[in-house]
Amino acid sequence: MKEQELNRLKNMLEIEDKLYSEGYNFVCGVDEAGRGPLCGPVVAAAVILPKDEYIEGVNDSKKLTEKKREKLYDDIMMKAVAASIGISDVDVIEKVNILNATKLAMKQAIEKLSIKPDYVLIDGNQMIDINIKAETVVSGDAKSLSIAAASIIAKVTRDRMLIEFDKKYPEYGFAKHKGYGTKSHIEAIQKYGLTDIHRPSFCKKFVK
């Protein structure tokens, strides 16, 4: 590993290292994918990274190519102390709204971890209801390696789901835009209507 990359990873572990020095052993990063799209679930991931090993290339998922995310997904799942996902589907999103659905997915991801964390780092500024010490980190996927790892797991998991949905609904192009409101996606909605994975509350202005 090049020195520049090692230094970048060390900088992204400052929050975790401070917590380790305070006596915490299992620091969990939590992030989500899919708050903004017009369809599909919101997916959250929770990841506890090893204290003594760096996973080269881990970064905010938005800064990585799809190919790089796929490779890092495998690396993280292989090397993480624990990793899990939580999912809120369209029905949940429509029932409780996207913010609360995201919180539910995050809570589910944390509760599904094979090892209970003793501290949780949550991307964003919204605290979730858990009985574990936690803090929010705005732009956490660029500041915390644990949150960055969670962002990759959440993004790859959700993208794979949309690729599967694309097989069922090929006319919408889900594999390409992953459910986001691109011009081609909106045109497909206007031509073919909504599927059972679309979020009606997100699509009101596109359908008559």
pLDDT tens-digit map of 89-119: 999 999 999 999 999 999 999 999 999 999 9
Full-model pTM:
0.96
Alpha helices in 58-144 (DSSP H): 66-79, 90-96, 98-111
Strands 42-48 and 27-33: antiparallel
Shortest CA distance to 58 belongs to which of 42, 41, 77? 77
Question: Which DSSP symbol is given to 46?
Answer: E
Note the pLDDT tens digit of each residue in 188-203. Answer: 999 999 999 999 999 9
Scored b (16 or more CB within 10 A) or e, 23-32 reads: eeebbbbbbb
47 contacts 80 by C-beta, under 8 angstroms: yes
Task: Give the pLDDT of residue 206.
Answer: 83
- With 80 as the cut, is the pLDDT of residue 143 above it? yes
Q: For residue 107, what pLDDT is reported?
A: 98
Residue 68: pLDDT over 90: yes
Q: What pLDDT sits at residue 207? A: 80
pLDDT at residue 1, rounded to an integer? 81
What are the structural domains, with CATH classification, of the chain? 3-166 (3.30.420.10)
